[in-house]
Structure 1
């Protein structure tokens, strides 16, 4: 399924910024599995993404359009007035007005993970779209979670069929995934990291952990390949 009014490569332009303007170097993006990753340095950036998403992004026509297209409710659509200080939902066919007053009490309850997951599974996790949803700090604030969710999507596809994967990503009763796409624009380093993690997972299933773990865990899981193909 193509994104409306353009190909996959044009989808991020809905946010009026080319991906090259907001894409960090892959080697500089903080990675949650990196030994140097500091959760206390990361958390303020994540909070910045939460504030942007609540106070600005969900009020924009572009984010509302993408959310409707991938069938996921924005926080201010989940009840009549769920966020303290936010205006009631606009009548059908109208756009939201000015952003609501900042309400820091609501940020902690606004998880960004469902939106990251929905963008990944629908193949719309372009840098420009992520920037439109989560603001200037998206690369450091949600970048590590985005990386992990892309890997989780690969794991889901490898461990189950299409129907199983769709069940994993549906949000019942009404926010089901309208369509799924293969992982968009993967790079070799990303695939190899997923292969290594998959091998480590299979080793754990065989209790090959701690003192029983292989000294050099293979990147492609050769010792488990026969079992993986069952």
Structure 2
């Protein structure tokens, strides 16, 4: 089986803006209300109940398989971020075996019992929760968020599970670069003295649709700064003119 880290990377990154909304169906909750909520990636609809199982699949893959892969470990070393099993305090070895009081940068600090993993009412182990966002952020800002690497870190479901978060973090990186200078951007992405950002790269494989989506969202933020929301919200053309005026 060919490692995703040795395969050729694609020339361009296929963003959700270019491919259309990742989730089109609107599942119903137990109360009969639609589960659609504003999409963090900017697409028209985001079905949280459709997305969440895929995200959990990415978490399990990351903890059970990816973090123990030599390729993932090499990338993590290069971009200077600890994997959960490498945390100096209460490392997490897999998705069902948290050690007490995990305190790593992405951990959810719960009082896990020392006798073993938490069990649900059916006697099944409750999966440990580790945020994937710090890893996605570090891959984005170092230009390592290519398809092969994302697949290697998060598995086959990465587009559906972490794709919306990935797109959000790419946009956030654009916003950070537009807001402040290099030193402050780096400071915002440094996680600790031991996991500081070793280098920053401009956003890689950017598509025109991604830039246009970021421009639209940036204009909405500028309107928010001026309290131009709700009944005062400007239309799209007004937002574009205001953004252009501020930049000139």
Give TM-score, length-normalised by structure 1: 0.78
Match of 1:167 in 2: 187
Which digits, 9 at most, give the CA deviation of each residue in 1:59-110, with x for residues without a partner? 00000000000000000111365226489xxxxxxxxxxxxxx9964532x1
Q: Give the gaps of 5 or more residues in structure 2.
A: 23-38, 100-116, 119-124
Matched, 1:107 2:103: no
Of the three residues 145, 150, 153, the one matched with 1:125 is: 145
Aligned in 2, Cα 1:52/1:73: closer, same or farther, shift over 3 Å? same
Provide the residue aligned with 1:15 in structure 2.
Answer: 5
What are the residue-to-residue correspondences of 1:1-230 with 2, within 5 Å?
A: 15-19=5-9, 26-28=18-20, 30=22, 32=40, 33-79=42-88, 81-83=90-92, 85=97, 105-108=126-129, 110-214=130-234, 216-218=235-237, 221-229=240-248
SS at match of 2:194: coil
| CA distance in 1 between partners of 2:237 and 2:148 (Å) | 35
SS in 2 for 1:63: helix
**Alpha-carbon distance in structure 1 between the residues aligned to 2:217 and 2:15:** 24
Asked whether the equivalents of residues 42 and 140 of structure 1 are also in contact (C-alpha less than 8 Å), the reply is yes
Q: Distance in 1 between matches of 2:82 and 2:195?
A: 7
Question: Which segments of 5 or more consecutive residues in structure 1 lack a partner in the other structure?
Answer: 1-12, 88-101
1:156-210, CA deviations, whole angstroms, 9 ceiling, x for partnerless residues? 0000000010011111121000000000010000000000000000001001000
Question: What RMSD over aligned residues (CA atoms) do the two structures have, in Å?
Answer: 2.6
Match of 1:93 in 2: none
Displacement of 1:222 in angstroms is 2.0
CA, structure 1 residues 16+225, in 2 after alignment: closer, same or farther (shift >3 Å)? same
Give the direction of change, closer, same or farther, for the CA distance of 1:107–1:16 in structure 2 (3 Å limit).
Answer: farther
Change (3 A) 1:29 1:194: same
The verdict on how the C-alpha distance between 1:129 and 1:161 changes in structure 2, with shifts beyond 3 A counting, is same
Inter-CA distance 78–219: structure 2 relative to 1 (3 Å threshold): farther
